[in-house]
Amino acid sequence: MEYGGKEVSRMSGTRISRLWGKVTLLLVVAVVCRFCMAQTAFAGSIVGWGSQVVDSSDPGPLVAIAAGGSHSLALKSDGSIIGWGQNDYGQVTLPGGNDFLAIAARNAHNLALNSDGSIVGWGQDEYGQANPPNGNDFVAIAAGRHHSLALKSDGCIVGWGRNNYGQATPPDGNDFVAISAGYYYNLALNSDGSIVGWGDDEYGQGDLPDGNDFVAIATGVRHSLALRSDGSIVGWGYDRYGQATAPDGNDFVAIAADGWHSLALKSDGSIVGWGKNDYGEATPPDGNDFVAVAAGKEHSLALRSDGSVVGWGGNFEGQATPPEGSDFAAITAGGWHSLALKSEGSIVGWGSDSSGKATPPDGNDFVAISAGGGHNLAIKTDNSVVGWGNNRYGQSTPPEGNDFVATATGGWHSLALKSDGSVVGWGDDWHGQATPPAGNDFVAIAAGYSHSLALKSSGCIVGWGHNNYGQSSPPEGDDFVAIAAGENHSLGLKSDGTIIGWGISDDSWYDHGQVTDTPNCNGFVAIAASGWHSLALKTDSSIVGWGAGTKALGEWPDYGQAMPPDGKDFVAIAAGLSNSLAIRREPSVSIEVAMRLTPQALNCKGRGKWVKARFVLPDDIAIENVDSNIFGEIESLGVEADYMDVYVTEDGLVRVEMGFGRTAFCDVLADCGSVEITVKGFLTNGQSFYGRDTIKIKCSK
């Protein structure tokens, strides 16, 4: 990749010094956008942490499931409840105890039925919907958007919460056997198999089908389902997405509805889904071992016969759940989605897919990626840029050309660095964030929510755009090597490995320590910032985090996104709005190649400056396969190369020359005599190459 017209990631007959080599690595790994991208020469696996809705972990044997708006509940066989997902109203801050018999979830509140017949409620309680009546004669519960229902042992129904459509005022009677609460309306099943409804009927969701052969009912936002005794399903109400058009057949045993989609469980244990499918919520997994289904607003759950639960669909915080594999070369985290670049040049996406932002274009000719709040950019091998996702301000419509070397994506704007060192911007420009300064001496760019930064070849930083917290007013200095931009804060990495933060003040409501808690030490090689948290990669390949998310409370803004995993094998970092990603180095494969050391005989008292290792690589290794960002080493001696040249000779073979300082070399080889030396280099796919040769250390007289 070129920065300012200078090739910094792969050299061709040009020497890289030890100091500049470190700076080069920083520029390649460092963040270039608010929703951070990190690229590494190593292909590795991805780890993610922070917010998540659909949890695929194994919590133990489960007996019931419930799906809310963006959260989920499960009832365990021991009578306790587990929950995961969004917790902004405390909806997954669960009551203690192991005497629960049933659970209900909708929107942002929940209910649970105790074994003694009493009810507990928690979560959003704006209309009292989470504050159930006293009593211990309840046998069933149902949660609507802002109201709740309960069925009593005598067959009557009570309601509470919001009542603007009369949804919390159930009909009289004591012959009810089942209840279902929609957003603003309800259904109840009579003991004679007929259905009654009340509340909002704008789309006919309360226009009930005739008959007294119904055995189950389900309510979505504005549509309804009913299961007949013969195993067939009828649907009615709002049907824009086909959610009220039930499939044919008479082998169904259970139904579920929420949002704009529907699910049904068949007698063979398989699941079918229909209706709106923007997030895959109506596309259930294969299998015939399912025993229960639950529908959330934009996600779905199913309980397996072994007591495990699976989830699919809208996984807005699932951007912290990366795909499996060990061939990823770059990562980037957006507002509620994530992307990864594979070593073969294709892109994968996961998380929220509104506006198609998590559905990257096809192809395997991509070399760099950048994710913003709701849009993305990618650079192709021909140095052109493509964009996708939200395009409200034209932010995902990049300019034409094939001279782009880096991109940065903000909240609603985009930046690109050209090979001549100039910067172009497009998209939302309300605060001037898409109008970069003139000049052709820029080497890196970063985009915050509504501010922008650029690093100049002189090592100083310039900023522009929104500056309400000083986030676009960088500190003075000409020793910066990397930049990162968050929501309202910015970071700069200096050549001595220290980090400087500026922007959000400590008296602001938005301050979570993303600036004030910046580590006061050196030893860092890469930085990332997004939203209200920051990350840094250390020289020992470990990660530190600060700002929002240093606690995993499961509620905004503390999703644990600033709590990186332990380990010293990380090579790249990326920060999203409420999640973080890192690429973990995979164990490398080493290839033996031809190598010769010069001089063959070394006089440590002589005047020679270098001990040189010259490699000839096999003809199937191209110059771009050599990782020039990581200099070679002699592991047995603990000596690293001071420079490295990579070039192609007239015969078409790639040759590598590494230079080791004679003084450092002699310091660890004080004894005279012959010694075999193994020198190691690195490839961009995570593998390494090595060569062996013998050098004679002359005894001084």
Buried/exposed code over 247-277 (b: 16+ C-beta within 10 A; e: otherwise): eeeeebbbbbbbbbbbbbbbeeebbbbbbbb
Average per-residue pLDDT for the chain: 83
Q: How far apart are CA 544 and CA 563, in angstroms?
A: 8
Which residue would you say has higher pLDDT here, 31 or 119?
119
235, 236, 241, 245: CA torsion to nearest 10: 30
Q: Is 33's pLDDT higher than 60?
A: no
Q: How far apart are CA 76 and CA 55, in angstroms?
A: 15
DSSP character for 683?
A: B
CB within 8 A of 688, min separation 6: which ones? 588, 589, 590, 591, 680, 681, 682
Q: Is 10's pLDDT higher than 60?
A: no
Give long-range contacts, CB 8 A cutoff, 24+ apart: 437-444.
437/462, 437/464, 440/4, 441/4, 442/4, 442/417, 443/3, 443/4, 443/6, 443/27, 443/417, 444/3, 444/27, 444/30, 444/32, 444/406, 444/417, 444/482, 444/483
Give long-range contacts, CB 8 A cutoff, 24+ apart: 487-490.
487/34, 487/448, 487/449, 487/530, 487/531, 487/532, 488/448, 488/449, 488/532, 489/448, 489/514, 489/515, 489/529, 489/532, 489/534, 490/446, 490/448, 490/451, 490/453, 490/463, 490/529
Average pLDDT over residues 344-357: 84
Average pLDDT over residues 636-665: 86
pLDDT in tens, 535-588: 999 988 899 999 887 765 555 677 678 888 888 778 888 888 777 888 876 655
State residue 587's pLDDT score. 56
CB within 8 A of 633, min separation 6: which ones? 639, 640, 641, 679, 680
With a pLDDT cut of 70, the percent of the chain lying above it is: 86
How wide is the angle at C-alpha 12 spanned by C-alphas 8 and 14, nearest 5°? 75
Q: How far apart are CA 290 and CA 584, in angstroms?
A: 35
Are residues 272 and 282 in contact, defined by beta-carbon separation less than 8 angstroms?
no
pLDDT in tens, 134-183: 999 999 999 999 999 999 999 999 999 999 999 999 999 999 999 999 98
Which residues of 202-344 form beta strands (DSSP E)? 214-219, 223-228, 233-237, 252-258, 261-266, 271-275, 290-295, 299-304, 309-313, 328-333, 337-342
Q: How far apart are CA 189 and CA 170, in angstroms?
A: 12
Domains in the chain (CATH in brackets) are 17-52+318-585 (2.130.10.30), 62-313 (2.130.10.30), 590-698 (2.60.40.10)
Average pLDDT over residues 657-665: 84
* Farthest-apart Cα atoms in the chain, separation: 111
Q: How far apart are CA 348 and CA 327, in angstroms?
A: 12
Residue 273's pLDDT band (cuts 50, 70, 90)? very high
Which residues of 473-514 form beta strands (DSSP E)? 480-485, 489-494, 499-503
Average pLDDT over residues 253-259: 92
Q: Is 57's pLDDT higher than 50?
A: no
Q: How far apart are CA 516 and CA 503, in angstroms?
A: 10
333: helix, coil or strand? strand
State residue 25's pLDDT score. 28
Phi, psi at 305, each rounded to 5°: -65, -20
Q: Is 58's pLDDT higher than 90?
A: no
Q: What is the value of pTM for the model shown?
A: 0.54
State residue 497's pLDDT score. 92
Q: Count the neighbouring beta carbons within 10 Å of the beta carbon of residue 29.
A: 24
Q: How far apart are CA 283 and CA 300, in angstroms?
A: 9
Q: Is 2's pLDDT higher than 50?
A: no
Q: Count the neighbouring beta carbons within 10 Å of the beta carbon of residue 701.
A: 4
State residue 19's pLDDT score. 28
Which residue would you say has higher pLDDT here, 595 or 339?
595
Average pLDDT over residues 680-687: 79
Average pLDDT over residues 87-104: 87
Amino acid code (one letter) for 562: A
Q: Is 8's pLDDT higher than 60?
A: no
Which of 91, 146, 81 is CA-nearest to residue 123?
Answer: 91
Residue 132's pLDDT band (cuts 50, 70, 90)? very high
Are residues 409 and 33 in contact, defined by beta-carbon separation less than 8 angstroms?
yes
For CA atoms 626, 627, 628, 634, give the dihedral sign.
Answer: negative
DSSP character for 531?
A: T
Are residues 565 and 571 in contact, defined by beta-carbon separation less than 8 angstroms?
no
Are residues 257 and 225 in contact, defined by beta-carbon separation less than 8 angstroms?
yes
Q: Classify residue 506 by burial, with Cβ atoms within 10 Å: 0-12, 13-18, 19+.
A: exposed
Are residues 578 and 557 in contact, defined by beta-carbon separation less than 8 angstroms?
yes
Residue written as token pair 């504005």: 222
- When mean pLDDT is compared across 129-133, 632-636, 669-673, the lowest value belongs to 669-673
Structure tokens, 363: 């192809």
With a pLDDT cut of 90, the percent of the chain lying above it is: 49
Q: How far apart are CA 73 and CA 92, in angstroms?
A: 8
Which residue would you say has higher pLDDT here, 410 or 71?
410
Could you tell me the strand order of the sheet in which 654-661 lies?
Answer: 16-17, 643-648, 654-661, 610-616, 594-598
Task: Map 210-247 to HEC letters.
Answer: CCCCEEEEEECCCEEEEEECCCCEEEEECCCCCCCCCC
Q: Is 627's pLDDT higher than 70?
A: yes
Residue 114's pLDDT band (cuts 50, 70, 90)? very high
Residue 53's pLDDT band (cuts 50, 70, 90)? very low
Q: Is 602's pLDDT higher than 90?
A: no
Which of 90, 153, 89, 146 is CA-nearest to residue 118?
Answer: 153
Q: How far apart are CA 338 and CA 348, in angstroms?
A: 9
40: helix, coil or strand? strand
State residue 490's pLDDT score. 92
Which residue would you say has higher pLDDT here, 420 or 87?
420
State residue 638's pLDDT score. 80
State residue 16's pLDDT score. 34
How wide is the angle at C-alpha 175 spanned by C-alphas 171 and 176, nearest 5°? 65
State residue 508's pLDDT score. 63
Neighbouring-strand partners of residue 333: 338
Q: How far apart are CA 405 and CA 420, in angstroms?
A: 9
Which residues of 2-52 form beta strands (DSSP E)? 2-3, 6-7, 16-17, 37-50
State residue 516's pLDDT score. 87
